[in-house]
Chains A and B, each alone.
Chain A
């Protein structure tokens, strides 16, 4: 009886009228947005962190550092939903731009600020002797950063970085605010069709959970591999 009822609800929510496609297409959008936002976030974060730590270490790049600080303050001081809305309705309000692209930009720009501070703390945590050893061999500032400081800093910040991407993946669930049909929105559309909140929303939650667990596992594996050189 109970089982029969669950089966019926499952049928109505996912099978009937191919409603599972809302979930699958939404998942595709969520993954797409997260993936490209992560890449943008890393690129921005990397550059901002280089500027900031160069300023901290040498006092150079004063103006760039100032610009970076404004970026960090604004992005970290306002909600990501508001940033998403502003980019969609204010900045691209009059142009016909893909919502996926807007979401990628918004979340990438947002993530970049957090990644920047993660990278910066990683760079600053490396003993200055490493830097001096690199420079004394004849590496210039940038080469020392690339060959000696960054690989060590990256290893140190990997857990924090993994965490940031988990946060980002979950944060994309607000994409519905600009009517982008991501995973969350997909589940919500089913709910509005079937008037059944439980099935679609639990399904959505489970999918996020599984993705986060897989990702956590991957980060842990990478961490263990990188740690091999430490003992």
Chain B
């Protein structure tokens, strides 16, 4: 695990206002460096999901800038679709394509967007499926998988685009408890392989063990952040203390 100084994502004074009053993001500035595993925690409604979804502009900020590898992707001139290919995203509800087989789910984007040949894309997909131990599921449809399997496939689908950063939006929140482990295990493996990751989660064990940095958000702001030892061992912000006392 190497964190060098290259800034992958830079966020500048992000604001998101809904219906001209609800302030989901209230001036967030942040940098994510290559190789970092940033875990974002906070109470519900704190803006952590909005923040994560702003990073690939699924949520368009009201004001502020997001830079990906130095390019302002919030600018009107930027083709966001090109940059999203390099930013994998994993959702709470998996969002696999139900009308396509697992293999088709994984190869769709590489074939259509990266213009890979079908054979190449399938070869890579099978490699990734082997990595997660689901190669025998290649030709079934998503409805035949368990929640944990679906989420691992969703991760693989993103990986097939060879992203430079992976965004996880509460990836285990919709899972039955016994399936949380298999997904976290895979995420941990990714982190160990050096993938840059931003993770919104309630899994404090994961944050403690895998994160290189933990961010606490509340009321649309980043209230505190630090390496896991300090963050959990010696929180300063009263709201964070209260939050941690409730969930730990």
A residues bordering B, Cβ < 8 Å? 127, 129-130, 132-133, 135-140, 143, 147-148, 151-152, 155, 229-231
Contact = CB atoms under 8 A, between A and B. Distances in A.
A103 B23 CA distance: 56
B143 A230 contact: yes
Contact of B161 (A129, A130, A138, A155): A138
B247 interface: no
Contacts of A229: 98-101, 141, 143
B115 interface: no
B97 A231 contact: no
B11 to A, nearest CB: 18
Given A129-B93, A137-B84, A229-B143, A147 B112 contact: yes
B95 A132 contact: yes
Nearest to A231: B143
B113 interface: yes
Given A138-B113, A229-B143, A230-B143, A133 B99 contact: no
B159 to A, nearest CB: 11
B138 interface: no
Interface residues of B, number: 29
Interface in B128-184: 141, 143-144, 154, 157-158, 161
Contacts of A135: 58, 81, 84
Contacts, number: 68
| Interface SS majority for chain A | helix
B105 to A, nearest CB: 9
Contacts of B58: 132, 135-136
B74 to A, nearest CB: 15
Interface string B205-248: 00000000000000000000000000000000000000000000
A136 B87 contact: yes
A152 B99 contact: yes
Contacts of B40: none
Interface string B68-111: 00000000000001101101110101011111110000001100
A137 B97 contact: no
A137 B98 contact: no
Contact of A130 (B95, B112, B154, B158): B95
8 contacts: A133-B97, A136-B56, A138-B85, A138-B113, A138-B161, A143-B112, A229-B99, A231-B144
B141 A230 contact: yes
Contacts of B109: 137-139
B95 A129 contact: yes
Contacts of A139: 81, 109, 112-113
B113 to A, nearest CB: 5
A137 B82 contact: no
A129 B91 contact: yes
A137 B85 contact: yes
Contacts of B96: 133
A130 B109 CA distance: 14
Nearest to A137: B109
